[in-house]
């Protein structure tokens, strides 16, 4: 089902007309009501009336997470506190959280965006949606919730954790749509298998997974083990929360809600736009938000976009999965390493390794140390040192070909690494540089 | 004539070995023979027990990678050269021995040696034909 065909399948020219109109409006709103941004515009010598085409957006200054830190807690809000009905927060760089305020209209918009995403995963009014994202300041839980409620689904607000209870509700309430982080989906799959449950004992048909980067390998694993079709959902609390974009059945990138978000992809060093299909930093302008509008917000997420229409019928801009964050990027012995690249390699050893892994980066004798600890797959038969040595050599070779550097590999028995109930902690960097 | 040996993967920590032996002891699993193959950062524990399927189930239940491997156990007279005789017989037939280890407790004046070979069935025939005493699982 397409939730809002009039918008999601509109001609590009129609979408661009809406975008320009709304862009002008949000720039005027920020100029009038968001003082830190007005100061940036004044410093750049740009006025709201300078925005006459979508391309004019490049005249506007950027907003970064540092602006949120400097204007903590509510300096970036653009309406009277009287009109704010909800806050969410995510961790910031300085130890103080980034706090977003939502008006009633903002929540309405959020529900609309998430409803479109849930529809992409096959949800409708008859669906039973189990929300296993954390509820609270984190946007995952209440974000998925508001969309499912808007659609008219039966929502089970489980929040994250309490895995046995999740499985009980999943069976007894016949949950068909699951919303959680991909790592928690794997935790649930593992627990289901331990309880002797097969995918056909569950009623799951679709999953909406996000809030952390994941790979095709993880997608296959989740789909196989839970017997559902896995969809990506993307968002960040500064911008709104989950629902900025999501993937349809074509699994051909995530459809962006173009009438609420104008996206650019820029070279993170030069800040110049890169062509469609080329990777760069995603920069988002919220063109429908009142409480905390964000103009040219630098997400730090690396992805690429396309404006080609999708086989599903939607014409909205599509973004690739997020390959990593510019902040997640580890620089090891001078080489850029994203944890997601390591995940891609692990996924190639489907029958021998699990997706439970952790990277340890440290420093010894002025040299970076880099270690991958990964759990072996259940059911392996290991009687031979040579078998393990050969497996380690294979993993090392694949890692070198993708990362360009080698890494010490430590294989572990299943269940050894700590399990996550939310975002998995994949990297431990003990270098004090 | 095959002996079913239990092999367990160990991250190379002393604590893990203690954990496994304690786990087996708590479940009344008696170790008839044991060896550890080690490298700098991992090891493989090999044990012979009365009920290998049960031992594997116990270990897997605790998350260990555990499996069963067929091995051959031979009895040697406790005199110099007994082991060399067996190896010579196998070498003559072109049989590769992956690893060997001896028992913890054995009958008086004899030693039990466990052999892991590529084709245990063939090895049993060869050793039997050469008069080497082979243990049955029930004799351990
Ligand atoms: Zn599509």
How far is Cα A312 from Cα A388, in angstroms, rounded to an integer?
A: 45
Distance of CA A361 to the CA centre of its chain: 24
Within 8 A of B116 by CB-CB distance, chain A residues are 383
Residue A171 and residue A110 in one domain:
yes
Residue A308 and residue A341 in one domain:
no
Residue A411 and residue A274 in one domain:
no
Phi then psi for A415, rounded to 5 degrees?
85, 5
How far is Cα A208 from Cα A229, in angstroms, rounded to an integer?
A: 9
Which DSSP string corresponds to A176-244? -EEEE-HHHHHHHHHHHHHTT--GGGS---EEEEESS---HHHHHHHHHHHTSEEEEEEEETTTTEEEE
Residue B114: both structure tokens together: 């466990």
Q: Is residue A405 assigned to a domain? A: yes
- pLDDT at residue A144 in the model: 98
Q: In this complex, do A413 and B64 lie within 8 Å of one another by their Cβ atoms?
A: yes
The tally of domains found in chain A comes to 2
Answer yes or no: is pLDDT of B105 > 60. Answer: no
CATH class name, domain B71-139: alpha beta
Whether the link from the prior residue into A73 is cis, omega within 30° of 0, is yes
Residue A118 and residue A256 in one domain:
yes
Q: Residue A367's beta-bridge partner residues?
A: A364
- pLDDT at residue B13 in the model: 67
C-alpha A194 – ligand 1 centre gap (Å): 35
Residue A382 and residue A298 in one domain:
no
* pTM for this prediction: 0.69
How far is Cα B56 from Cα A382, in angstroms, rounded to an integer?
A: 12
B15 compared with A11, residue with greater pLDDT: A11
Rounded to an integer, the average pLDDT of B100-117 is 78
Is B9 part of the contact surface with chain A (CB cutoff 8 Å)?
yes
Question: How confident is residue B80, by pLDDT bands cut at 50, 70 and 90?
Answer: confident
Residue A322 and residue A368 in one domain:
no
- pLDDT at residue B48 in the model: 92
Residue A430: both structure tokens together: 């003990």
Residue A395 and residue A294 in one domain:
no
- pLDDT at residue B107 in the model: 64
Question: CA triplet A228, A229, A230: central angle to 5 degrees?
Answer: 110
Q: Is residue A409 assigned to a domain? A: yes
Residue A82: both structure tokens together: 């009287």
Please enumerate in sequence order all residues whose Cβ is within 8 A of that of B100, keeping only pairs 6 or more positions apart, or say none: B113, B114, B115, B116
Domain boundary among A274, A297, A327: A327
Question: Residue A195: which CATH number?
Answer: 3.40.50.12780
Interface test with B, best of A191, A196, A382, A387 (most B CBs within 10 A): A382
C-alpha B104 – ligand 1 centre gap (Å): 66
Across the interface, of A378, A388, A414, the residue whose CB is closest to B42 is A388
Beta strand A154-156 with A128-131 is: parallel
Sign (positive or negative) of CA dihedral A121, A125, A126, A129: positive
- pLDDT at residue A92 in the model: 64
How far is Cα A211 from Cα A227, in angstroms, rounded to an integer?
A: 21
Question: Residue A410: which CATH number?
Answer: 3.30.300.30
Reported in sequence order, the residue ranges of A37-162 that DSSP labels E, i.e. its strands, are 84-90, 98-103, 128-131, 154-156
Environment of ion ligand 1 (residues, CB < 5 A): A 248, 250, 310, 312, 314
- C-beta atoms surrounding B101 within 10 Å: 19
Residue A284 and residue A208 in one domain:
yes
How far is Cα A90 from Cα A337, in angstroms, rounded to an integer?
A: 24
Q: Is residue A146 assigned to a domain? A: yes
| Consecutive H or E run containing A264 | strand A261-266
Find the closest chain A residue to B68 by CA distance. A381
Q: In this complex, do B67 and A383 lie within 8 Å of one another by their Cβ atoms?
A: yes
Residue A190 and residue A316 in one domain:
yes
Q: Is residue A24 assigned to a domain? A: no
Which DSSP string corresponds to A253-281? SEEE-TTTEEEEEE-TTT--B--TTS-EE
Question: How confident is residue B40, by pLDDT bands cut at 50, 70 and 90?
Answer: confident
- pLDDT at residue B85 in the model: 87
C-alpha A292 – ligand 1 centre gap (Å): 29
How far is Cα A319 from Cα A297, in angstroms, rounded to an integer?
A: 16
The interface residues of chain B toward chain A in range 81-140, judged by CB-CB distance below 8 A, are 98, 116
Q: Where do the domains of chain B lie?
A: 3-69, 71-139
pLDDT along chain A (433 residues), means of 10: 97 98 98 97 97 97 93 97 96 77 98 98 98 94 98 97 95 97 92 94 96 83 96 96 97 97 92 94 97 96 95 97 78 80 86 92 88 93 93 93 88 88 81 72
Looking at CATH, the fold of the domain delimited by B3-69 is given as VC0802-like (3.30.2130)
Q: Residue B99's beta-bridge partner residues?
A: B116
Range of the domain at A373: 335-429
Residue A205 and residue A308 in one domain:
yes
């Amino acid at each position: 089902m397409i939730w809002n065909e009039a918008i999601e399948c509109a001609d590009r020219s129609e979408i661009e007309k809406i975008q320009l109109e709304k862009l002008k409006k949000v720039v005027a709103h920020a100029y009038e009501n968001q003082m830190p941004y007005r100061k940036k515009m004044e410093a750049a010598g740009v006025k709201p009336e300078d925005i006459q085409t979508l391309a004019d957006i490049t005249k506007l200054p950027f907003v970064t997470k540092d602006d949120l830190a400097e204007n903590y807690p509510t300096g970036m809000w653009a309406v009277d506190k009287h009109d704010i009905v909800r806050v969410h927060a995510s961790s910031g760089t300085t130890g103080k959280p980034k706090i977003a305020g939502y008006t009633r209209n903002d929540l309405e918009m959020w529900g609309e965006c998430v409803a479109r995403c849930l529809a992409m995963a096959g949800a409708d009014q008859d669906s039973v949606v189990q929300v296993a994202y954390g509820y609270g300041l984190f946007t995952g839980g209440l974000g998925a919730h508001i969309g499912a409620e808007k659609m008219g689904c039966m929502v089970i607000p489980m929040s994250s954790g309490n895995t046995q209870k999740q499985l009980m509700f999943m069976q007894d309430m016949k949950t068909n749509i699951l919303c959680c982080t991909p790592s928690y989906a794997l935790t649930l799959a593992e627990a289901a298998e331990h309880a002797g449950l097969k995918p056909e004992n569950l009623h799951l048909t679709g999953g909406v997974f996000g809030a952390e980067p994941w790979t095709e390998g993880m997608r296959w694993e989740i789909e196989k083990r839970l017997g559902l079709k896995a969809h990506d959902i993307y968002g960040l609390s500064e911008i709104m929360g989950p629902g900025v974009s999501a993937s349809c059945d074509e699994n051909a990138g995530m459809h962006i809600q173009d009438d609420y978000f104008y996206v650019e992809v820029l070279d993170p060093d030069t800040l110049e736009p890169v062509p469609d299909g080329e990777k760069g930093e995603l920069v988002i302008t919220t063109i429908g938000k009142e409480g905390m509008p964000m103009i040219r917000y630098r997400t730090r997420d690396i992805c690429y976009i396309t404006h080609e229409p999708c086989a599903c019928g939607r014409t909205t801009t599509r973004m690739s999965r997020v390959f990593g964050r510019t902040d997640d990027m580890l620089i090891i012995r001078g080489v850029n390493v994203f944890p997601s690249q390591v995940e891609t390699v692990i996924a190639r050893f489907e029958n021998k390794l699990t997706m439970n892994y952790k990277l340890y980066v440290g420093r010894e004798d002025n040299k970076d140390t880099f270690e991958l600890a990964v759990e072996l797959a259940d059911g392996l038969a290991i009687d031979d040192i040579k078998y393990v040595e050969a497996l380690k050599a294979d993993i090392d070779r694949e890692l070198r070909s993708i990362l360009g550097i080698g890494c010490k590999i430590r294989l572990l028995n299943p269940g050894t690494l700590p399990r996550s109930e939310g975002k998995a902690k994949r990297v431990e960097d003990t270098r004090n540089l | 004539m095959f002996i079913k040996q239990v092999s367990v993967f160990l991250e190379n920590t002393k604590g893990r070995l203690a954990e496994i032996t304690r786990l087996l002891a708590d479940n009344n699993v008696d170790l008839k023979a044991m060896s550890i193959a080690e490298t700098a950062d991992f090891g493989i524990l090999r044990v012979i027990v009365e009920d290998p399927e049960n031992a594997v189930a116990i270990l897997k239940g605790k998350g260990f990678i555990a499996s069963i491997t067929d091995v051959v156990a031979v009895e040697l007279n406790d005199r110099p050269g007994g082991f060399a005789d067996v190896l010579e017989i196998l070498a003559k037939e072109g049989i590769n021995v992956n690893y060997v280890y001896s028992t913890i407790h054995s009958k008086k004046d004899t030693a039990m040696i466990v052999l892991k070979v590529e084709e245990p069935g063939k090895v049993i025939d060869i050793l039997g034909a050469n008069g080497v005493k082979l243990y049955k699982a029930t004799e351990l």
